[in-house]
């Protein structure tokens, strides 16, 4: 059965309390973030149905939101997700070469996951780090001023964590 941990349930209630009575639907985006972290990095249909029941809204209201925003994954992703920015300012500073290098090192294409389930490579549009380009989102934070050496180090860091 799908169920948040006690601490997460507590967090969900705290989030709902931020809005006026009856406006608990406003908690949908934050609760989907929590669900994605807790239930394996993506939002499976039963997970979305569970969120709908928590917020007393229809499942379709969750699906339409989950499919609109690019940070919600609707299919499984690797343990580590590299989201490399490819918009103008990053492109000017060599993001194409960084994307090619990651593809080569991990032997996957954009949108793919390595066969060991460790890495997913995604390209994303502007993340607001244009002055520190090229960059990628890596979990909760950003990795900036990327070079081939830095990419190597990040991959190494991930493999060490996985072992």
Partner 1 sequence: MGRKLLLEKAHVEGIRHYDVYRREGGYRSVEKALKMQPTDIVEEVKKSGLRGRGGAGFPTGMKWSFLAKPDGVPRYLVCNADESEPGTFKDRYLMEFIPHILIEGMIVASYALGSNVSYIYIRGEYDWITDILEVAIAEAKQNGWLGKNILGSGFDCEMYVQRGAGAYICGEETALLESLEGKRGNPRIKPPFPAIKGLWDCPTVVNNVETLAAVVPIINEGSEAYAKIGIGKSTGTKLISACGNINKPGIYEIDMTISVEEFIYSDEYCGGIPNGKKLKACIPGGSSVPILPANLLLTTAKGEKRLMNYEGLSDGGFATGSMMGSGGFIVLDEDQCIVKHTYTLARFYRHESCGQCSPCREGTGWMEKILQRIEIGKGTMSDIDLLWDIQRKIEGNTICPLGDAAAWPVAAAIRHFRDEFEWHINNPEKCLTENYGLMHYADPIHVPA
Q: Which residues bind partner 1 (CB under 8 A)?
A: 18, 20, 23, 25-30, 32-33, 55, 57, 61, 64-65, 68-72, 86-89, 91-93, 124-133, 137, 140-142
Closest CA to 95 of 104, 103, 87: 87
Residue 147 CB, nearest approach to partner 1 (Å): 15
Residue 13 CB, nearest approach to partner 1 (Å): 14
- What gap in Å lies between CA 83 and CA 123, rounded to an integer? 5
120, 113 Cβ separation under 8 angstroms: yes
Residue 76 CB, nearest approach to partner 1 (Å): 18
Nearer to partner 1, 59 or 105 (CB): 59
Q: What are residue 135's phi and psi, to 5 degrees? A: -150, 165
Contacts with 153 (C-beta within 8 Å, 6 or more apart), sequence order: none
Nearer to partner 1, 20 or 109 (CB): 20
């Amino acid at each position: 059965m799908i169920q948040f941990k006690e601490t997460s349930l507590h967090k969900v209630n705290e989030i709902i309390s931020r809005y006026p009575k009856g406006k608990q639907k406003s908690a949908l985006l934050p609760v989907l973030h929590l669900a994605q972290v807790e239930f394996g990095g993506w939002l499976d249909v039963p997970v979305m149905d569970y969120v709908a029941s928590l917020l007393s809204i229809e499942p379709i209201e969750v699906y339409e939101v989950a499919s609109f925003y690019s940070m919600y994954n609707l299919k499984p992703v690797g343990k580590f997700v590299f989201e490399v920015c490819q918009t103008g300012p990053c492109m000017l500073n060599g993001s194409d070469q960084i994307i090619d290098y990651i593809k080569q090192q991990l032997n996957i294409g954009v949108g793919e996951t390595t066969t060991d389930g460790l890495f997913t490579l995604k390209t994303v549009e502007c993340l607001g780090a244009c002055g520190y380009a090229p960059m990628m989102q890596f979990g909760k934070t950003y990795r900036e001023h990327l070079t081939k050496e830095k990419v190597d180090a990040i991959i190494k860091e991930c493999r060490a964590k996985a072992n």
